[in-house]
C-alpha cells in the first residue's frame, strides 16, 4: 500500500466530516505518580458551529493538587466568524511564542525559515516511510509508528515553545505550567503511535505513548511517561 496515498486518503476523509463526536484521555506520570490527567468528551458540528464539551482535569504539581470539571456549550459561528477566530488565535499564539524574546525562531534555530521548514518536511517524510501498515479483511487499517530518534533542532524548538508560552512568574498558574514543562522536555523520548482507520479511511482511534527521563534542578533523574488516547465515533 502506498503510504503517501494512504495519508492523502486519511486527510481527505477527515476533511469531508461535518460532525466530530468523541473523547480524548491523557495521563502523564512522573515515576509512578500521576501528575496530570485529562478527559475531554466533545461533540462539534462544523456546519452549524455548535460545540459541546465536557472536561475533567487533575493536576499534581509538587504536592499541590488541583481538580477541575466543566461542561460548556457554545457556537463558533458567533465567535469572530468561526474559522476566522481560529486563524486569529493561531496568529496570536505564533506571535507570542515566536517573538524576538523567545529565541525559538532565531537565525540559529531557523525553525521559521525555509531551511527549518524543509528540514521538518524531510523528517516527516522519514517518519511516513517508517510507518507499519496492517490491513484487515473488512478494509480497516491499523497503522503503527515507533519514534526513537528526534532531531536535536526539533527538540530545541519544542523546548522553546513550552519555555516561552506559559504564564509569567507572577501568574497563579506558574507551578502547574512548570510541571507540564518538565513533562514536555523529557530527554531522548521514545514515542509510539498507533492509529486505527475504518473502511472509509477515517480515523477511529489514535493511541500515543511516550517515555523518557527528566533531570531536575538537583540533577536527580526521573522516569517520565505519557499516554493519550483519542476515540472518534462516526
pLDDT tens for each residue of 55-76: 999 998 777 889 999 999 999 8
Map out the domains of the chain as residue ranges: 3-233
Supply 200's cell numbers.
472509509
Indicate whether 142 pLDDT > 80: yes
How far does the chain reach from its first CA to its final CA, in angstroms?
A: 24
Q: 186 or 167: whose pLDDT is higher?
A: 186
Tell me the C-alpha distance between 217 and 83, whole Å. 42
Highest mean pLDDT (candidates 135-139, 147-151, 225-229)? 225-229
25-40 residue pLDDT tens: 999 998 888 989 999 9
Decide if pLDDT at 14 tops 90: yes
Query: Distance between CA 199 and CA 215 in Å, rounded?
Result: 44
Cell, residue 9: 486518503
pLDDT surpassing 80 at residue 183: no
On the question of pLDDT at 93 being above 60, the answer is no
Q: What is the mean pLDDT of residues 178-192?
A: 70
Identify the weakest region by mean pLDDT among 79-93, 142-156, 174-188.
Answer: 79-93
Name the more confident of 215 and 95: 215
- Report whether pLDDT(182) > 80: no
- Where helices occur in 16-173 by DSSP H, the ranges are 83-97, 114-129, 152-164
Q: Is the Cβ–Cβ distance between 59 and 53 less than 8 Å?
A: no
* Strand arrangement, sheet containing 19-30: 64-75, 50-61, 33-45, 19-30, 221-233, 203-215, 187-197, 141-147, 132-135
Residue carrying C-alpha cell 493538587: 65
Distance, in Å, from the CA atom of 55 to the CA atom of 41, rounded to the nearest integer, reads 7
State what percent of residues in the chain have pLDDT above 90. 47
- Report the C-alpha gap between 22 and 234 in whole angstroms: 9
CA atoms 53, 201, 205, 15: torsion sign: negative
Instruction: Specify the pLDDT at position 92.
Output: 45
Neighbours of 92 (CB within 10 A): 10
Amino acid at each position: 500500500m502506498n503510504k503517501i496515498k494512504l495519508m492523502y486518503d486519511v486527510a481527505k476523509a477527515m476533511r469531508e466530516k461535518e460532525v466530530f463526536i468523541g473523547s480524548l484521555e491523557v495521563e502523564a506520570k512522573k515515576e509512578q505518580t500521576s501528575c496530570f490527567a485529562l478527559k475531554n468528551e466533545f461533540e462539534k458540528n462544523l456546519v452549524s458551529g455548535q460545540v459541546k464539551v465536557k472536561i475533567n482535569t487533575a493536576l499534581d504539581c509538587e504536592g499541590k493538587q488541583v481538580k477541575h470539571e466543566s461542561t460548556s456549550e457554545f457556537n463558533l459561528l458567533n465567535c469572530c466568524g468561526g474559522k476566522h477566530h481560529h486563524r486569529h488565535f493561531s496568529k496570536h499564539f505564533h506571535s507570542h511564542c515566536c517573538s524576538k524574546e523567545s529565541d525559538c525562531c532565531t537565525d540559529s534555530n531557523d525553525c521559521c525559515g525555509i531551511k527549518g521548514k524543509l528540514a521538518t518536511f524531510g523528517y516527516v517524510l522519514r517518519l511516513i516511510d517508517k510507518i507499519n501498515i496492517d490491513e484487515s479483511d473488512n478494509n480497516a487499517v491499523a497503522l503503527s509508528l515507533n519514534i526513537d530518534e528526534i532531531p536535536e533542532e526539533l527538540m530545541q524548538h519544542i523546548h522553546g515553545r513550552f519555555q516561552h508560552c506559559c504564564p509569567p512568574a507572577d501568574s497563579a498558574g506558574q507551578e502547574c505550567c512548570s510541571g507540564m514543562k518538565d513533562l514536555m522536555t523529557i530527554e531522548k523520548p521514545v514515542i509510539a503511535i498507533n492509529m486505527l482507520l475504518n473502511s472509509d479511511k477515517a480515523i477511529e482511534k489514535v493511541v500515543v505513548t511516550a517515555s523518557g527521563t527528566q533531570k531536575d534542578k538537583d540533577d536527580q533523574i526521573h522516569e517520565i511517561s505519557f499516554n493519550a488516547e483519542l476515540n472518534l465515533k462516526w
